[in-house]
């Protein structure tokens, strides 16, 4: 369902930020011109709505927990030299909340970089949503841009199931038709980057995906390897406008400061506390 920037006023029942691997990364890798090292989270999110359960991103491959180099090669060596606890993978995080992969009806992929797609095959029964042009770019990225950031084996099963992959854009998409979960096409980091507005009984969040990687990116400074710095600048401006129009807090997924001031599972945004 297409929607305007100003969404309706329905709410989800519950929103969890699933506990996540924390990787120490150079800030300059995430926002051009930043300095120092930062402990950056790599989260996924779970939404419960009366019409179904939605997972936003699927995290990294479970085998990368113990063998990052064998799993991701040079990227694994650079980003995950010590691996991470296996219990932080999405399947274990769901189990801690009492859910199984089969309980997930919909998976929203903010984009298809390898740190978001690692457990997509676990949800091959679900309906997937991504952004316009994302799947094509993931299979055939520009040679000088991001070719090492995609692992097509993570989503190859969807080639035989095209009806299970729906792309959003250029128009936005109201997932349940009540304004509680709205997908916004915000290209720049990749052609199909998405932001997700989630209205909870406590407050509204605009999950930024990787439209920006750190809060410093909201100033307009791009990720050094964005597909299009020009498109990123436009999408960052729109991200801020969407947040203002919907009284939503922008949640930058990889930003350690945002992670420090928000709830993480098993804590939940449900209006009860």
Q: How many domains does the chain have?
A: 1
Q: What is the CATH number of the domain that holds 210?
A: 3.60.15.10
Per-residue pLDDT band at 131 (split at 50, 70, 90): very high
Per-residue pLDDT band at 1 (split at 50, 70, 90): low
Pairing state between β 248-251 and 204-207: parallel
pTM for the complete prediction?
A: 0.95
Return the pLDDT at 33.
Answer: 85
In a domain, 143, yes or no: yes
Give the residue with greater pLDDT, 272 vs 155: 155
Judge whether 70 and 63 are in contact, CB under 8 Å.
yes
Q: Measured at the alpha carbon of residue 186, what is the angle toward residues 185 and 190, in degrees to the nearest 5?
A: 105
User: What pairs with residue 196 in β-bridges?
Assistant: 183, 207
pLDDT at 264 over 60: yes
Longest dimension (CA), the chain: 49
In a domain, 49, yes or no: yes
At 40-73, the pLDDT tens digits run 999 999 999 999 999 999 999 999 999 999 999 9
- Total Cβ atoms within 10 A of residue 33: 11
Return the pLDDT at 273.
Answer: 61
Return the pLDDT at 144.
Answer: 64
Return the pLDDT at 5.
Answer: 64
Q: What are residue 132's phi and psi, to 5 degrees?
A: -55, 125
Q: Average pLDDT for residues 205-225, to the nearest whole number? A: 91
pLDDT at 151 over 80: yes
In a domain, 273, yes or no: no
In a domain, 141, yes or no: yes
Return the pLDDT at 4.
Answer: 60
In a domain, 148, yes or no: yes
Return the pLDDT at 271.
Answer: 84
Return the pLDDT at 32.
Answer: 84
Q: Average pLDDT for residues 134-158, to the nearest whole number? A: 88
Lowest mean pLDDT among 44-48, 174-178, 224-228, 255-259: 224-228
In a domain, 65, yes or no: yes
Return the pLDDT at 192.
Answer: 97
Return the pLDDT at 104.
Answer: 98
Return the pLDDT at 202.
Answer: 95
In a domain, 266, yes or no: no
Judge whether 8 and 174 are in contact, CB under 8 Å.
yes
Give the residue with greater pLDDT, 27 vs 175: 175
The percent of residues above 90 in pLDDT, for the chain, comes to 82
Q: Taking all residues of the chain, what is their mean pLDDT, rounded to a whole number?
A: 93
Q: How far apart are CA 244 and CA 253, in angstroms?
A: 19
The percent of residues above 70 in pLDDT, for the chain, comes to 96
In a domain, 265, yes or no: no
Question: In which domain, by residue range, is 81 found?
Answer: 2-260
């Amino acid at each position: 369902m297409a929607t305007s920037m100003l969404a309706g006023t329905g709410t989800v029942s519950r929103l969890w930020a699933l506990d996540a691997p924390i990787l120490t990364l150079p800030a300059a890798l995430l926002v051009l011109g930043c300095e120092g090292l930062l402990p950056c989270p790599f989260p996924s999110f779970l939404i419960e709505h009366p019409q179904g359960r939605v997972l936003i991103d699927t995290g990294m491959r479970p085998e990368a927990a113990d063998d990052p180099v064998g799993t991701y090669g040079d990227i694994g060596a650079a980003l995950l030299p010590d691996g991470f606890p296996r219990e932080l993978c999405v399947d274990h995080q769901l189990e801690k909340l009492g859910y199984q992969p089969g309980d997930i009806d919909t998976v929203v992929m903010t984009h298809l970089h390898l740190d978001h797609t690692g457990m997509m095959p676990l949800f091959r029964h679900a309906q997937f949503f991504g952004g316009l042009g994302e799947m094509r770019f993931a299979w055939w990225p520009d040679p000088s841009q991001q070719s090492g950031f995609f692992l097509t084996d993570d989503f190859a099963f969807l080639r035989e199931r095209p009806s299970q992959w729906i792309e959003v854009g250029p128009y936005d998409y109201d997932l349940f038709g009540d304004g509680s979960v709205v997908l916004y096409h915000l290209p720049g980091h990749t052609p199909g980057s998405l932001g997700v507005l989630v209205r909870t009984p406590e407050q509204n969040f605009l999950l930024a995906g990787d439209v920006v990687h750190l809060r410093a990116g909201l100033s307009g400074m791009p990720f050094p390897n964005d597909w299009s710095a020009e498109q990123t600048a436009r999408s960052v401006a729109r991200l801020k406008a969407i947040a203002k129009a919907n009284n939503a807090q922008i949640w930058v997924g990889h930003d350690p400061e945002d992670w420090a001031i928000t709830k993480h599972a098993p804590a939940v945004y449900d209006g009860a506390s």
